[in-house]
Amino acid sequence: MTRQSQFIEIGTGIKARRWRFLSGRAKLHFMTQENASPAKCGKRIWWVVLVLGIISGIGFFLVSPRVNQISRFDLPVSVEFVTASSLRNKLLNSAAPLKLVNMWATWCAPCVAEMPHLLKLYKNYRDRGVELYLVSMDLKEEVRNVEKFLDDQGVDFVTYLKDQKDNDFINEVNPDWSGGLPASMIFDAKGEMKNFWIGDLSYEDFEKEVLRYLESGKSQ
């Protein structure tokens, strides 16, 4: 027997088996339809509708772009967009004896590590007139990630996100600022900047700075 004849024989066998299988299936299908009662058919249709409904629901859950997205209005955190000018106006309009401004970003590891120290400081000294201004340097499109991060940190007060080109914002806030993060500034009751530094601090270092300017403000 040649190789060609083997191939033809095998191919013919497959076709024969396939034909018999399809014929058997067609016969079974015909017998099922013929012998099925109206009650059984109705029950079968109900199950098909139920299964299709479940599949459609799962598909919508996976495909819908709003699923698993965090809406700004679902969180207690309030994030306002600011420019350097509007931030400056907020500082000038506040009569608080000390205003601590912190520039940070969700992608900045030192900023993330520093955040608990800032929040602890604010909690311990807000009754003494300390205000904390958290200004995110993230892109506007990342506002939901910013809100999610702040919500996870337990922030329940108004925070800010820059609404300006990086270089313009940086130069207007402080011409001596290179843009490095985190960056912190202390302003007095008149809105004048008293200190500025780049880099993360410990809680103790923040506390020393705050106490130093709180005490100096009392003596003036």
Lowest average pLDDT, out of 114-123, 135-144, 209-218, goes to 209-218
Question: Are 151 and 178 part of one and the same domain?
Answer: yes
Question: Are 59 and 88 part of one and the same domain?
Answer: no
DSSP string, 23-58: HHHHHHHHHHHHH--HHHHHHHHHHHHHHHHHHHHH
Q: Tell which wins on pLDDT, 125 or 40.
A: 125
pLDDT, one tens digit per residue, over 168-184 is 999 999 999 999 999 99
Neighbouring CB atoms inside 10 A of 86's CB total 13
- Which conformational region is residue 68 in: left (phi greater than 0), alpha (psi within -120 to 50 degrees), or beta? left
pLDDT score at 13: 45
Last residue of some domain: 39, 63, 87? 63
Question: Are 87 and 54 part of one and the same domain?
Answer: no
**Residue 23 belongs to what domain range?**
3-63
Q: What percent of the chain has pLDDT over 90?
A: 62
Neighbouring CB atoms inside 10 A of 97's CB total 17
Q: Tell which wins on pLDDT, 87 or 65.
A: 87
Choose the most confident range, by mean pLDDT, from 44-48, 74-78, 116-120: 116-120
What is the enclosing helix (H) or strand (E) of 7?
Answer: helix 3-35
* Spatial strand order in the sheet of 193-198: 78-82, 158-162, 130-136, 98-104, 183-188, 193-198
Q: What is the tally of structural domains in the chain?
A: 2
DSSP string, 163-199: -S-HHHHHHHH-TT--S-SSEEEEEETTS-EEEEEES
Question: Are 44 and 123 part of one and the same domain?
Answer: no
Question: Are 165 and 210 part of one and the same domain?
Answer: yes
Total number of residues shown for the chain: 220
pLDDT score at 158: 97
Band of residue 160 on the pLDDT scale cut at 50, 70, 90: very high
Q: What percent of the chain has pLDDT over 70?
A: 65
Last residue of some domain: 34, 63, 92? 63
For the record, the structure tokens of 72 come out as: 């700004």
Question: Are 47 and 89 part of one and the same domain?
Answer: no
Choose the most confident range, by mean pLDDT, from 3-17, 18-32, 58-72, 121-135: 121-135
Question: Are 196 and 91 part of one and the same domain?
Answer: yes
Question: What's the mean per-residue pLDDT of the chain?
Answer: 80
Question: Are 45 and 102 part of one and the same domain?
Answer: no
**What CATH number should be reported for the domain holding residue 200?**
3.40.30.10
Question: Are 112 and 212 part of one and the same domain?
Answer: yes
> Looking at residues 57-82, what average pLDDT do you find?
57
pLDDT, one tens digit per residue, over 90-111 is 999 999 999 999 999 999 999 9
3-state secondary structure of 132: strand
> Looking at residues 49-69, what average pLDDT do you find?
54
Question: Are 21 and 110 part of one and the same domain?
Answer: no
Question: Are 168 and 143 part of one and the same domain?
Answer: yes
> Looking at residues 103-125, what average pLDDT do you find?
98
Question: Are 21 and 123 part of one and the same domain?
Answer: no
Lowest average pLDDT, out of 56-60, 96-100, 192-196, goes to 56-60
Band of residue 216 on the pLDDT scale cut at 50, 70, 90: confident
